[in-house]
């Protein structure tokens, strides 16, 4: 380029220094009436051949008569082409421009390429059009330098158009491009790449595997050829001049790169090399060296352009000398545009036209094949095709006779154009049931199952060159079995890698700003992988950048949902009626029961049978409220009513109306219950892609697919699904496993994915179903690199598998699982049958009734036992009272019949020994007075008087006298009734008659012990011997009734002589050694019994022992006179209580200082206790 500018500057200098010579014409230049010139001179710089000049002049004269037809005259001015470009430029100025030429036709010298450029520079300075007929350098296409240059021959770079057509015809998709680093080589590469981009739009992409540029003029090109030998492509496109091509072919022959399997396609210059190998295909421009033919076509186009310019008018004369500077010839620009627009349909060189750069288009080429002539033992070029313009289709077409082509190695069959590798790098992705993975640790000796599994290391795209970055897995599944079949059928080996990345999508690279494929497809496009054997969906976006085999499985897109169980609530048996109706029914039951009760109660005929004798009418039980409720529920629930029916006519009428109501309610409930339970269906599943829930989803209804998958591309591509795509765009999952897990956990309502995978999941899990019909039908194919030689073989193998039934076997083995029977029970289309799930509420209701009944029976049993204990205590008290009442009556009658009783009354008290003993007071002795019955201490007035006398002699000890009344039946009945009504604790013994005995051995310890007050009426009587008096004291637990009772008179007149000094031990405690006689004991017992009966309503808390009451003052009655009475009531009750309450504890209470308390049982303090 710099060399061209150097010549341009040289020409400008020469023009400035040359003095123009005046060109005088004897005749004045003629003009037409519009002022336009009528004579036009056409210049020519031609080769030195004489016949060329003559042909040039003859054609101009012919055109003047045929085209101009007298409107204007054409003149010629021709010069011979000099090999020196400077001389050529001077000639143009002196011989052509001074003659006012309107256009110049330039040819090419036999030696030298710069002379046409000097003509173009010189004429272009004044904008005089120059038409070349032999120059093919691409530099003339640059209009910044050659502003007015046109040519009837195409540049060398236009051979790329023919190369692309040859690739389309041979179906080569991968090649290596070799070119020189000059302008023509780079221009050829640029045009070739532009044309191949047009093929991508036609889904016929051509991949240039490697572009190798070399510097021309080298002595060896071995290094360049070694680089391209590593490529997989074996189709080489070569642009080089003849010398460089000779060296390249020689080095290629040395490397054995010109033999069988290789394809060489070269340009015209390289085809002229003497070392061109046999089988090479090259191009030759038709009429490229026919100068006369190009002169003929050029002058015809120029004559038509001048005629158009003349018809337009406003023509100025051409420049006349090279000394004029700074003024452009505007008519020259117009003429250039007119020439560029011309089209010559039937020219000598074919159809002639120009593009925007002024280059010839529609140039015709011959396709030449270099073949060996075995007879003459030399190579020759054989034309095997043509690239020409078709008048029928109005475009350029390529026709080849492939049968006559001899390929390198003298092969008649077209080479594949690729080095077919026998070991392929295969990628797959984990997706059930097509690919399963199992992690193993080879260091522990773990291996894969050789019959069903293949070792597949983990593939990390970002760490492909890092050692140890792979983890070993064992892969199995549908696609693994398919890979084994393909390798066996196509005879290749492979190394399998499993990837957990996505399939791949077209996304913009943030660094480069270009759209690039990622994922598995990105690895295939980059050439990292040779094959993808996975459930890879065939779609148009992917097919632009990769090859697909025929589908090995046809499928579509469907929707996965979780099966909704039949809606069966816990209270489903209540669904036939609304809750308001249930409440009204319950209220009606009790209202009707109340009405029945009232009608039957107040009806005059409700409680009596009607009979013939009104006087003998029998009264019967009326219908109580409980029976009325039972009757109302029995009629409603259609249960038999055996008793408790209404007796009155009015109540029975109401009962019949209630029965009719119950019949209607029960019938309606039964009908609705059957409808609810049988027609209890789940929520309807989706009907398909057009379901309203997908088109206009609610907030709680979510659906999604896998990001970057073919399904994602499908929704992105379909305009009618754009709303759905925007809805689920931000909810996509990274893998199908995550989405299916979300559907099971009800985090995702619907998952849209390939039907094969979803049908497999639905077959394995009965809780999942596929909804709707298939849409977006497509297929799974094996992915290969663009132009892969294995594409056809893999496709043929898959078609053969379909025909032989092997693909069906794989479907049955991995996808179609035989578990239809397991999911049949959950089929929504199966007849609805009732089960525990439907009726569990009724069973729970029965269970609640059973538990409630058990609870009530426990309460009833506890209550009944309590009542039985109360009744038993009452019966025992009544029996004891009756027994002792009879004994008292018998003893009283016996006593009244005895004479000694009367004598006892008159004679007073006398001890058994006949002497009285003085009682020396040593200490105070505490007795429970309330335990003693309220009776007379002395049976008669005489004894009472004797006691009073004893009181006076002893210092005034108070002696209380009780009045013994008769025991009447009413008091006993009242006491028994009170015992029945009052609640008595089961652990509390009933009251007993007075206790009368102390143990002589334990008298001391017994006197030290005392019990706490046991009754609300109990009190303590303290006999203070020191003070000579008896002080009664109340128990802290005495009740209000005891305080309202009439005060008891104090016991007085008890003489200390009753207590003998010998009866006190040394410890200050009384020693009870005196034993009363039989008569004394009987007398005391009778009086105690009498007082016990009189005090039934106020039962005693404790009684004094008979031995304590024995003293010389009491009479001694012989046992032979009075029979010994039965044991006292106190002992009887104790025996009964020991049997009923074994292990009952006695409580001991320590008396205050100076006092001693008598031990007693802890009896209940409630007034209701007996």
- CA gap 374, 841 in Å, rounded: 102
For the chain, give the number of residues. 1170
Q: Which helix (H) or strand (E) holds 1030?
A: strand 1029-1034
Q: How far apart are CA 638 and CA 644, in angstroms?
A: 15
Which residue in 1146, 893, 1156, 915 sits closest to 1022, CA to CA? 1156
Residue partners of 858: CB distance under 8 A and separation at least 6: none
3-state secondary structure of 72: coil
- Measured CA to CA in angstroms, residue 676 lies from 313, 768, 1154 at distances of 99, 25, 89
Contacts of 738 (CB under 8 A, 6+ apart): none
- CA–CA dist 273, 250 (Å, integer): 10
If one counts every other C-beta atom within 10 angstroms of the C-beta of residue 104, the result is 27
CA distances to 912, 1082, 1105 from 1111, in Å: 9, 14, 12
What is the distance between the alpha carbons of residues 344 and 331, in angstroms, rounded to a whole number?
23
Question: Measured in whole angstroms, how far is the alpha carbon of residue 281 from the centre of its chain?
Answer: 62
542 is in an annotated binding site: yes
Q: For strand 493-499 and strand 423-429, is the pairing parallel, antiparallel, or unpaired? A: parallel
Tokens coding 756: 């094969």
**H or E segment at 406?**
none
Which residues of 303-440 form beta strands (DSSP E)?
344-347, 350-354, 360-361, 365-373, 378-390, 395-400, 423-429, 436-439
Pair 207, 787: CB distance under 8 Å: yes
Q: Is 710 known as a binding-site position?
A: yes
Spatial contact of 6 and 40, defined as CB atoms under 8 Å apart: no
Q: Tell me whether the omega of the peptide bond preceding residue 433 falls within 30 degrees of 0, making it cis.
A: yes
Q: How far apart are CA 276 and CA 266, in angstroms?
A: 9
DSSP-based three-state secondary structure for 605:
coil
Both tokens assigned to 843? 């069973």
Going by their DSSP bridges, the two strands 547-548 and 768-784 should be labelled as antiparallel
Distance CA 653, CA 309 (A): 126
CA dihedral 740, 744, 746, 748 (to 10 degrees): 10
- Identify any residues that bridge with 548 across adjacent strands, giving them in sequence order: 783
In angstroms, the CA 465 to CA 469 distance is 8
In contact, 370 and 279? CB cutoff 8 Å = yes
Question: To 10 degrees, what angle do helices 649-678 and 625-636 make?
Answer: 40
Comparing CA positions, the residue from 106, 2, 8, 92 lying closest to residue 52 is 106
* DSSP 8-state symbol, 67: I
| Residue 727, annotated as binding a ligand | no
Taking CA atoms, 996 is separated from 649, 1135, 1157, in Å, by 69, 15, 15
H or E, element range at 40:
strand 39-46
Classify residue 840 by burial, with Cβ atoms within 10 Å: 0-12, 13-18, 19+. Answer: middle
Residue in 341, 313, 319, 347 with CA at minimum distance from that of residue 332: 319
Which spans in 73-157 are helix H?
85-91, 115-125
Residues contacting residue 963 through CB under 8 Å, at least 6 positions apart:
934, 935, 936
Three-state secondary structure call for residue 757: helix
Binding site as annotated, residues? 535, 537, 542, 710, 754
Binding site as annotated, residues for L-glutamate? 535, 537, 542, 710, 754
């Amino acid at each position: 380029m710099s060399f061209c500018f150097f010549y341009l500057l040289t020409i400008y200098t020469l023009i400035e220094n040359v003095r123009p010579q005046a060109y005088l014409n004897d005749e004045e230049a003629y003009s037409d009436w519009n002022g336009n010139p009528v004579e036009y001179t056409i210049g020519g710089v031609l080769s030195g051949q004489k016949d060329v000049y003559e042909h040039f002049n003859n054609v101009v004269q012919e055109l003047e008569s045929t085209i101009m037809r007298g409107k204007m005259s054409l003149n010629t001015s021709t010069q011979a082409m000099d090999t020196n470009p400077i001389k050529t430029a001077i000639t143009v100025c002196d011989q052509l421009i001074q003659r006012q030429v309107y256009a110049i036709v330039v040819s090419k010298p036999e030696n030298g390429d710069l002379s046409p450029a000097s003509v173009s520079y010189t004429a272009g300075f004044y904008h005089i059009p120059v038409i070349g007929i032999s120059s093919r350098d691409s530099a003339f296409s640059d209009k910044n330098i050659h502003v007015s240059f046109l040519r009837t021959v195409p540049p060398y770079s236009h051979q790329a158009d023919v190369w692309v057509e040859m690739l389309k015809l041979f179906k080569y998709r991968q090649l290596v491009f070799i070119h020189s680093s000059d302008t023509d080589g780079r221009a050829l590469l640029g045009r070739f790449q532009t044309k191949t981009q047009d093929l991508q739009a036609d889904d016929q992409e051509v991949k240039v595997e490697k572009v190798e540029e070399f510097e021309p003029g080298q002595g060896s090109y071995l290094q360049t050829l070694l680089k391209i030998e590593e490529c997989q492509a074996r189709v080489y496109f070569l642009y080089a001049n003849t010398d460089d091509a000779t060296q390249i072919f020689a080095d290629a022959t040395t490397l054995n790169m010109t033999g069988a399997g290789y394809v060489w396609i070269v340009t015209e210059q390289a085809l002229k090399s003497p070392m061109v190998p046999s089988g090479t295909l090259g191009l030759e421009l038709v009429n490229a060296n026919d100068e006369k033919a190009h002169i003929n076509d050029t002058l015809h186009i120029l004559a038509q352009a001048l005629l158009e310019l003349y018809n337009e008018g406003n023509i100025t004369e051409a420049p006349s000398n090279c000394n004029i500077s700074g003024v452009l010839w505007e008519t020259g620009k117009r003429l250039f545009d007119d020439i560029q627009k011309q089209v010559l349909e039937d020219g000598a060189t074919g159809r002639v036209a120009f593009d925007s750069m002024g280059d010839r288009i529609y140039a015709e080429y011959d396709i030449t094949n270099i073949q060996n002539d075995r007879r003459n033992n030399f190579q020759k070029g054989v034309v095997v095709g043509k690239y020409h313009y078709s008048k029928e289709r109005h475009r350029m077409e390529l026709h080849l006779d492939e049968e006559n082509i001899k390929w390198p190695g003298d092969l008649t069959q077209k080479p594949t154009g690729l080095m077919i590798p026998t070991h392929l790098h295969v990628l797959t992705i984990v997706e059930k049931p097509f690919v399963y993975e199992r992690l193993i640790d080879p260091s522990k000796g773990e291996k894969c199952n050789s019959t069903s599994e293949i070792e597949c290391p983990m593939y990390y795209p970002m760490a492909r060159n890092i050692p140890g970055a792979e983890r070993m897995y064992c892969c199995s599944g549908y696609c693994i079995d398919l890979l084994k079949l393909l390798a066996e059928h196509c005879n290749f080996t492979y190394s399998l890698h499993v990837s957990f990345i996505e399939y791949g999508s077209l996304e913009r690279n943030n660094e480069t700003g270009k759209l690039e494929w990622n994922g598995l497809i990105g690895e295939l496009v980059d050439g990292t992988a040779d094959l993808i054997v996975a459930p890879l969906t065939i779609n148009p976006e992917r097919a632009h950048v990769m090859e697909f085999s025929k589908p090995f499985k046809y499928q579509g897109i469907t929707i996965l949902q979780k099966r909704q169980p039949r809606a069966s609530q816990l209270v489903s048996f209540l669904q036939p009626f609304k809750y308001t109706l249930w409440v009204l029914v319950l209220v009606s039951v009790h209202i009707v029961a109340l009405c029945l009760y009232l009608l039957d109660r107040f009806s005059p005929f409700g409680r009596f049978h009607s009979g013939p004798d009104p006087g003998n009418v029998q009264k019967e039980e009326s219908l109580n409220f409980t029976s009325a409720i039972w009757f109302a529920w029995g009629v409603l629930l259609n249960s038999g009513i055996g008793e408790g029916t209404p007796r009155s006519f009015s109540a029975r009428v109401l009962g019949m109306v209630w029965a009719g109501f119950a019949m209607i309610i029960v019938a309606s409930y039964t009908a609705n219950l059957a409808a609810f339970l049988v027609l209890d269906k789940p929520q309807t599943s989706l009907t398909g892609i057009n379901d309203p829930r997908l088109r206009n989803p609610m907030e709680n209804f979510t659906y999604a697919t896998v990001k970057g998958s073919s399904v994602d591309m499908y929704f992105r591509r379909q305009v009618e699904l754009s709303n759905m795509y925007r809805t689920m765009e931000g909810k996509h999952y990274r893998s199908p496993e995550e989405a299916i897990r979300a559907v099971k956990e009800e985090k995702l309502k619907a998952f849209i994915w390939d039907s094969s995978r979803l049908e497999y999941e639905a077959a394995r899990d009965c809780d999942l179903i596929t909804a709707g019909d298939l849409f977006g039908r497509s297929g799974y194919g094996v992915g290969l690199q663009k132009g892969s030689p294995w594409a056809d073989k893999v496709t043929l193998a898959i078609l053969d598998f379909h025909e032989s039934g092997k693909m069906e076997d794989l479907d049955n083995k991995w996808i179609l699982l035989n578990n239809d029977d397991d999911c049949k029970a959950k089929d929504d289309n199966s007849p609805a049958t009732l089960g525990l799930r439907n009726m569990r509420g009724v069973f729970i209701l029965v269970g609640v009734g059973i538990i409630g009944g058990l609870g009530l029976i426990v309460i009833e049993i506890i209550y009944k036992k309590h009542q039985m204990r109360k009744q038993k205590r009452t019966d025992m008290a009544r029996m004891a009272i009756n027994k002792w009442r009879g004994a008292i009556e018998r003893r009283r009658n016996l006593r009244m019949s005895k004479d000694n009783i009367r004598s006892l009354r008159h004679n007073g008290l006398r001890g058994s020994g006949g002497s009285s003993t003085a009682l020396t007071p040593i200490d105070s002795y505490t007795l429970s007075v309330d335990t003693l019955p309220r009776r007379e201490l002395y049976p008669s007035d005489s004894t009472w008087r004797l006691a009073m006398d004893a009181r006076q002699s002893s210092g005034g000890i108070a002696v209380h006298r009780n009045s013994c009344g008769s025991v009447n039946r009413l008091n006993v009945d009242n006491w028994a009734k009170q015992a029945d009504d009052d609640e008595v604790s089961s652990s509390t013994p009933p009251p007993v008659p007075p206790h009368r005995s102390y143990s002589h051995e334990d008298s001391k310890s017994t006197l030290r012990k005392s019990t706490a007050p046991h009754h609300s009426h109990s009190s303590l009587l303290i006999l203070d011997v020191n003070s000579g008096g008896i002080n009664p004291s109340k128990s802290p637990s005495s009740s209000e009734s005891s305080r309202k009772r009439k005060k008891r008179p104090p016991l007085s007149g008890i003489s200390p002589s009753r207590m003998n000094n010998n009866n006190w031990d040394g410890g200050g405690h009384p020693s009870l050694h005196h034993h009363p006689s039989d008569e004394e004991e009987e007398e005391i017992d009778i009086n105690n019994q009498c007082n016990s009966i009189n005090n039934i309503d106020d039962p005693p808390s404790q009684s004094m022992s008979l031995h304590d009451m024995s003293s010389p003052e009491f009479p001694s009655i012989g046992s032979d006179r009075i029979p010994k009475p039965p044991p006292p009531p106190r002992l009887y009750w104790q025996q009964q209580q020991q049997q009923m309450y074994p292990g009952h504890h006695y409580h001991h209470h320590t008396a205050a200082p100076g006092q001693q308390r008598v031990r007693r049982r802890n009896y209940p303090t409630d007034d209701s206790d007996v």
